[in-house]
Structure 1
Amino acid sequence: MERARDAVIDTLGCMMAGTKDPSVAAVTAAFGNEISASGSGWLVTGRYASPSVAALVNGTAAHALDFDDNFHPARAHASAVLVPALLATLHPQRPIGGKQFLEAYLTGLEAQAAVGFGVNPSHYNRGWHGTSTVGAIGTAAGVARLLGANIEETAQAMCLATSMASGPKGQFGTLAKPLHAGIAARNAVEAALLAMSGSGGRLDILERPQGFLDLFGGGEARGWADWRLDEAHVIETRGLVTKRHPCCASTHRAIDALFDLKQEHRLSAGDIDRIDVKVGISAARNLAYPRPENEMQARFSMPYCLARAMLQDRLSLSDFAPAALRQADVLALMPRIEMHSYTSGEEYGHDRLPHVLTVTLRDDTGLKSQRLHAKGSIEVPLDAGQRRSKFVDCVYWGSGHATDDLYDNLLDLSQSTSASNLLNLLAASS
């Protein structure tokens, strides 16, 4: 429950930070005629809308800056879909306790892991964005749980979400990428509402011919014949990766490895002749912008992110503002940074391989560091102070003001008798 609470708080911070992003502005403009001063679905941008539009706007905001968490079993940004979808179903006239809200979150996360088990990693590697596919299907179970659905209705919610699942990774580095999270959150809400209103499909749609596995799985997908629920929840066995850096997770292990070398050897940019990083195949495909032209592309650029990491002690949201991309010292260092990937033969049979960073100094000395897990993972977690600091920074980025009071109040979420109070806290701080 504490891990779920921390994931919800982190996502709320990311959601508030993304409020002013162009991807969010486009969504609110497109559906402006459905947004008003009152309604059932609170928007992080202010005002209200239907649950569907609220999930769409808030999900896009949660993923807009790529600062939200990662969930490896689903190969998805799990919480950026789950939290906005669950928020969209809250209503003052339907009392839901904070504990119920977190239980629904945990249901959706476990369901995402279960769906991901059968199709990943080949589903993700062949180009599907798990956030908008696996994320939508699993989140539908969480929404159904929060709405009080029975087992049949929950299964049908997941079934219908399967018919809505889509999202190619070829959209990475564009405004469509955060929109994937918003669409997935909206799809999960609508699938649950449809299922509870009598709609439905084939309950074997994941595994049957012409179903999800058949069409989306890829050559190495294993299906669900060997899948079993563990006694411990997946949030405790695999956990989430709470992001330390506001950019694509495919860059994080290399960034952390570079920070390790900088601290150990007291390196400065003037010492560097070149930097080479070896990453997984899917990571290399995700990072498609060696010379980014805008802030969204910069989040998916290994040379840009490593140049930034070499020049400063931490990466912040301001490093991905338009003016930051034109800084001369960053532009000078980027051409000396190269990325390549493992071969398919090297990756075969491995769920995960380390990202390896090699720094060659001007005197030809070679330094090497590698990371199997990024800072923020369950193996190398952020501490309480780092989580708080990130949340406060996110709120300040989105609103221009920040307070520790909001964070402290959110820490009591599991004890709250009304999850709707969460919306009141957020509205007062946005």
Structure 2
Amino acid sequence: MATVLEKITDQIVSRTSFSPVAMKRAQEAVVDTIGCMLAGAADQAPQSVTRAFSADIGANGASAILRGGRASPSVAALINGTAAHCLDFDDNFHPARAHASAVLVPALLSIATADTAVSGRRFLHAYLAGLEAQAAVGFGVNPSHYNRGWHGTSTVGCIGTAAGVAVLLGLDATGIAQAMSIATSFAAGPKGQFGTSAKPLHAGMAARNAVEAALLAQAGISGRLDILERSQGFLDLFGGEASNGWQALSASDRHVIETYGLVTKLHPCCASTHRAIDAARDLQIEHGFSLDDVLSIQTKVGRSAVDNLAYPHPVDEMQARFSMQYCLATALYQGRLSLTDFTDSAILRPEIRRHMPKISMSAYSAAEEHGIERLPHQVIVNLSDGRSLKTERLHATGSVAMPLTAADRRSKFADCLRWAGLKTEETHGTLLRFEDTASVKVLLNGFEWFAIS
């Protein structure tokens, strides 16, 4: 009988073509992630990683690092992956409970920028393979894998991305399954690190580990192909009492990016805040109140969201991204959130701080969440004129159900480049030709921020 890894691999290799919707969404995800990588490249976390591995960076490395320099595929994926995730502006992928693209795109770029022959279409096919593998692995171990404290980005993301890298390297079905098996031995990352620079490092670690797992499989290292489901395997050690297992896993004619899709972030902060922010803004737009009119705001979110948002009184910009109080107060105070709101000076603004004690957060009970894939996040706003306004959001803005417009995507990308101090002219439009480029390396070599010649 086929193992779970073999079933996942069979599904991946059986897809020899993808629908226009799947290819368009994959391309949008790649472009969005490149914007996040550029915006994050100068942040403390990727800069620290760069310093740690400075001896391995120079002019002659195989793979490109954003903003200049070359290194081995492993080091390039580690640095670029950390940059992609450090501002928490990168997309979410609910089937894996992971930041899928922040691992996939840097890992695949480490191969593509070392090989002129990698086309945009081939890159996107590998991206979609890795995304499907992430979804399948996540299906088996969630929801309790994530709820008990594992960061799916660096566990599920690592294993699924190894499949994508293996596809890009041209490995056969056995090689792809072996890359995923090896990657299970690299999977790590506790959510207790949220609010520190170790959290974005998780994405970099996962990208690096996925690259190394695929290269090791290519070179002949092998692991057990039943490592997901066997005793002392991934599910046994990482799953938990509410994990699904893979008995109900089934193949679908439609790719997961068409059905579930990705959530492209509108706000540069933890996704656990987004539905409450969007719901509160819905009320504010409808009823026209300001924060000065608010007596109190009560939010009800998932149990894992409460665990993630551990900083009611953030003391730095990283903690602020994981603070419901700061993110929600800032969004209601000025009508939006941007990268400029997450600096050490911005988070101490008294005009924001004085409103934060008005905001409380509670969680659904275990009984309420049991057996339900997704519950809406609720917001109640109590106003000084006696009104009590209530609404809820099941989906964040940026999801398939409530997608960003093309203008929203362009605006976000431009914001990322401005934050990075780069020119925005033509960059987004050029990257939207990603699918049709004959060489990803040549395409990126046209930008001053990707010195890969």
State the TM-score, normalized to the length of structure 2: 0.93
Between the aligned partners of 1:292 and 1:301, the Cα distance in structure 2 is: 7
Q: How far 1:92 sits from its partner (Å)?
A: 5.3
Could you tell me which of 87, 90, 97 is aligned with 1:65?
A: 87
Equivalent residue for 2:268? 246
Correspondence 1:55-94 to 2 at 5 A = 55-91=77-113, 93-94=115-116
Letter in 2 for 1:153: G
Equivalent residue for 2:437? 416
Letter in 1 for 2:45: S
Q: What do residues 84-127 of structure 1 show as CA deviations (whole Å, max 9, x unaligned)?
A: 00000124555011100000000000000000010111100000
**Contact conserved, 1:160 with 1:201, CA < 8 A, in 2?**
yes
Tell me, yes or no, if structure 1 residue 235 matches structure 2 residue 239: no
**Contact conserved, 2:66 with 2:449, CA < 8 A, in 1?**
no
Tell me, yes or no, if structure 1 residue 107 matches structure 2 residue 107: no
Q: How far 1:427 sits from its partner (Å)?
A: 4.0
Between the aligned partners of 2:335 and 2:59, the Cα distance in structure 1 is: 43
Between the aligned partners of 1:37 and 1:323, the Cα distance in structure 2 is: 37
Equivalent residue for 1:167? 189
Equivalent residue for 1:20? 42
**Contact conserved, 1:44 with 1:427, CA < 8 A, in 2?**
no
Q: Secondary structure of the equivalent of 1:123?
A: helix
Query: CA 1:294/1:428 → structure 2, altered by over 3 Å: closer, same or farther?
Result: closer
**Contact conserved, 2:58 with 2:71, CA < 8 A, in 1?**
yes
Equivalent residue for 1:225? 247
**Contact conserved, 1:276 with 1:359, CA < 8 A, in 2?**
yes
Which has the higher mean CA deviation after the structures are superposed, 419-428 or 185-194? Answer: 419-428
The alignment-based identity, stated in percent, is 61
Could you tell me which of 350, 363, 369 is aligned with 1:347?
A: 369
**Contact conserved, 2:68 with 2:450, CA < 8 A, in 1?**
no
Taking only aligned residues, the RMSD between alpha carbons, in angstroms, comes to 1.1
Q: How far 1:167 sits from its partner (Å)?
A: 0.3
Equivalent residue for 1:187? 209
Q: Secondary structure of the equivalent of 1:404?
A: coil
Letter in 1 for 2:216: L
Q: How far 1:249 sits from its partner (Å)?
A: 0.1
Q: How far 1:37 sits from its partner (Å)?
A: 2.1
Q: What do residues 307-366 of structure 1 show as CA deviations (whole Å, max 9, x unaligned)?
A: 101101210000011111111111100011100101111111111000000000012310
- Structure 1 segments, 4+ long, off by >3 Å, are 91-94, 425-430
Between the aligned partners of 1:306 and 1:94, the Cα distance in structure 2 is: 45
Between the aligned partners of 1:193 and 1:394, the Cα distance in structure 2 is: 32
Between the aligned partners of 2:193 and 2:276, the Cα distance in structure 1 is: 23
Between the aligned partners of 1:182 and 1:332, the Cα distance in structure 2 is: 36
Q: How far 1:38 sits from its partner (Å)?
A: 2.8
Equivalent residue for 1:404? 425
Letter in 2 for 1:88: S
Tell me, yes or no, if structure 1 residue 96 matches structure 2 residue 83: no
**Contact conserved, 1:55 with 1:84, CA < 8 A, in 2?**
yes
Letter in 2 for 1:417: A
State the TM-score, normalized to the length of structure 1: 0.98
Which has the higher mean CA deviation after the structures are superposed, 223-232 or 187-196? Answer: 223-232
**Contact conserved, 2:63 with 2:114, CA < 8 A, in 1?**
no
Letter in 1 for 2:155: T
Query: CA 1:31/1:276 → structure 2, altered by over 3 Å: closer, same or farther?
Result: same
Tell me, yes or no, if structure 1 residue 270 matches structure 2 residue 292: yes
Between the aligned partners of 1:325 and 1:242, the Cα distance in structure 2 is: 24
Between the aligned partners of 2:197 and 2:312, the Cα distance in structure 1 is: 18
Letter in 2 for 1:100: R
Letter in 1 for 2:318: M
Structure 2: stretches of 5+ with no match in the other structure: 1-22
**Contact conserved, 2:116 with 2:439, CA < 8 A, in 1?**
no
**Contact conserved, 2:299 with 2:360, CA < 8 A, in 1?**
yes
**Contact conserved, 1:121 with 1:221, CA < 8 A, in 2?**
yes
Between the aligned partners of 1:133 and 1:345, the Cα distance in structure 2 is: 27
Between the aligned partners of 2:422 and 2:33, the Cα distance in structure 1 is: 18
Tell me, yes or no, if structure 1 residue 313 matches structure 2 residue 335: yes
Which has the higher mean CA deviation after the structures are superposed, 35-44 or 417-426? Answer: 417-426
